[in-house]
Structure 1
Amino acid sequence: MTTVLDRPRRSAEPTPGSKARRRYGERASIAYLFLSPWAAGMVLLTLGPMVWLLYLSFTDYDLFTEPEWVGFDNYVRMLTVDPHFWNAVGATSKFVLISVPVQLVAALGVALLINRRSRAQGFYRSAFYAPSLLGASVSVALVWRVIFHDWIGQPDRALLALVLLAVWQFGAPMVIFLAGLQQIPQEYYDAAAVDGAGPWRSFLRITIPMLSPVIFFNLVLDTIRAFQVFTGAYVVSNGTGGPSDSTLFYTLYLYEKGFVEFKMGYASAMSWFLLVVIALITALLFRTARGWVFYSGDDS
């Protein structure tokens, strides 16, 4: 006689909640698997070297002997003793303050000119974008040095030659501006025209506000990129940063300290100082963006 205890127990069927959790776990595992190469690269090629450079910034290191701990000596010497450091800061600051606004204005102006449907639109885009692909090359910088040979020997014009080289490479922000312009509905301009608004008023009241997120995006990227300019300054000035340190950009001086004088500890301190400055300026840009950047659906 079979009792209740002798009957085989039915296996508990999974609930809908447990099935959902299992599917979520499987998808998360797949996501982590695909993200693992990026995570490994981030740790090994970015975070790891950054931490190592932070340690080296507190040492006296010449690439050939063991690092010797010196504390904050590199930072103190950099900020108080080294006159070329502040010359590099000044030259880089001038370059950023001049080149970034001029490049953005040039990029937006060209984007407005070619924001028309025509058979040659693709050609114009490619033609104006090409300098962005070639501008960072050594060959173009050599040609630029020959063209502006008379300017390079004058302290008050040498920096201007590098500014023009940077502005000439406006293709990347131009393409981004063009994409933003094509997202603005034509109905806005038609309504403004009915109300009697001219092209300039429509540009100020419609184009600039609607394009403000794109302007902010290009501003942040171009500012960071301008602080990191190296190839043009190195080739045009023949690696000297002259005349009178007028083109001694920060990255050029960092390279000189680290790989010419082999003061890698000092160069590491300079690199971390640059990182902090860029982070602070980027944070400031994000802070000020609240007052002039308008997104779709923003009540302000």
Structure 2
Amino acid sequence: MSSGMESAACEGMYSKLIDEEVSYFDEMNRRPDAGLSAHPVSPVRVALRPGGPGPYRPATFFLAALCAVLLISIIAVAAHYKNLPQPAAGPEVQIQKQKQEANVTALIAAIAKLQQEKAELQQEKAELQQEKERLLARLDAETATKAPEVIKPAATAAATATAPVCPQDWVLFNSSCYFISRHTRDWRDSQSFCQSKGGHLAIIHTAEEQSFLWERLPRGHWNAYWFGISDEHTEEEWKWVDGTPLVGGFWEDGEPNNHIDEDCGYIIKTRKLERVAVKSWYDAPCSMYWPFICEREIGAAAANSTAAPQ
């Protein structure tokens, strides 16, 4: 835009000079003594004839050249400043930017450290859980194989001959000994463990037997224990581990419901005092890990105690 204005200014000055020159010679021709001149043609007019060098023509060319030089100079200066690099940000901006970058780097490092600590804690938790299970299983195995604790004999010889005995950590009810585990297994592994000790998962027929076992379970948020019932072979046909069908039972209201392919039974005892022993059975997937209750019959019934599930 500046170059256009300079060109227009130069052209205006050139036109003004030509107009002034023409006006000057017109005025000379109108003077009264113009006809008395001894020369028939004015030397000025001769100068204005085509091809003749007028007195303003060199000045005109000089000004035109000057305008061209100024125009080129303006274009060169504009191009020079356009190519100059942008001024750098002030020192305060640079310091603030460096602080922000340092904060981001520190935050990323802290997050990475927390994630690493989380992974280490999870691994440590898993190792402790495995160690706990191993120790509890070892403890159960040791206590289940200890020598039986003989119950004090009665006064008569007949009573002495028929006095039932249970291993240490097993409890006696009627003609059976019961073992309540402190480690967890799935339902099938629980049954295998009980069979290895000469018994099976508990078979519960009466309300008295149910109440006896339920009273010996600790209360907790959701303390659950496998016992010897399932319908894994035929849905809704619940059978005991000795193959006999279930008659009645002590299910909670709405149970069993087979909510997520639930084929095995367990007993629960929670902190809610409103719960009762005769409504404490639930069904669950057999693959879940719960503690369990073993039963071993005393006397002649023990011969059938290791029968496989039907």
Indicate the TM-score class for this superposition, using the shorter chain for normalisation: under 0.3
TM (norm. structure 1) is 0.23
Higher helix residue share:
1
The alignment's TM-score, normalised by the length of structure 2, stands at 0.22
Q: Using CA pairs under 8 Å that are at least 6 residues apart, name the structure with larger relative contact order, 1 or 2.
A: 1
